[in-house]
Amino acid sequence: MQIGSRLELFVDQAVLEQLDGLALKMHAPRPAPASPTRIRGHYVTVLKDGDIYRAYYRDNVAGYQGPYEAGSPGEITCYAESQDGHQWEYPNLGLHDVQGTDGPNAILAGEAPFSHNFSPFLDTRPGVPNHERYKALAG
């Protein structure tokens, strides 16, 4: 396997042939207080783009009385951003008029089944124009 100069996360010895004079040591997590502005939805995807963390998550439209099944009209996809990944802001994007928990920051509403499994990602390939870096799979 050629790793070259890329970073590689080692959590086991799957990519190591042998360890001579080394040991794999997992560090304990550091306790931190709960964020007062934590993401309130479901199925969160967080992307770090430069100095900003961008979170995309599914939420429910407040007052929706229909069935909640895969891709129901009561599902919306929302956006939040953070400088540190702990304190989140919910910008009023003005894209959709929804009466949901986080309606003003909805990026998808009334788009069943796309809000159900919305999976955004950053296209970091060389030559991709800046305005085309954000892409998603859904449905």
Contact 47, 122 (CB under 8 A): yes
Instruction: Return the pLDDT at 98.
Output: 81
* Cβ burial 9-25 (10 Å sphere, 16+ → b, else e): eeeeeeeeeeeeeeeee
Q: Which tens digit of pLDDT belongs to each residue from 21-67?
A: 878 788 899 898 888 888 878 899 999 999 999 999 998 888 888 88
Question: Mind listing the pLDDT tens digit for each residue in 54-113?
Answer: 999 998 888 888 887 777 888 899 999 999 999 999 999 989 888 755 578 999 988 888
Q: With contact defined as beta carbons under 8 Å apart, do 77 and 107 qualify?
A: yes
- The reported pLDDT for the residue numbered 102 is 53
pLDDT the model gives residue 93? 92
**Dihedral (CA of 42, 47, 48, 54) sign:** negative
Local structure of 105: helix, strand or coil: helix
pTM, rounded to two decimals: 0.76
Residue 111 is predicted with a pLDDT of 85
Tell me the per-residue pLDDT of 111-135, one tens digit each, with 9 for 90 and over. 888 988 899 999 999 999 999 999 9
Residue 1 predicted with pLDDT over 80: no
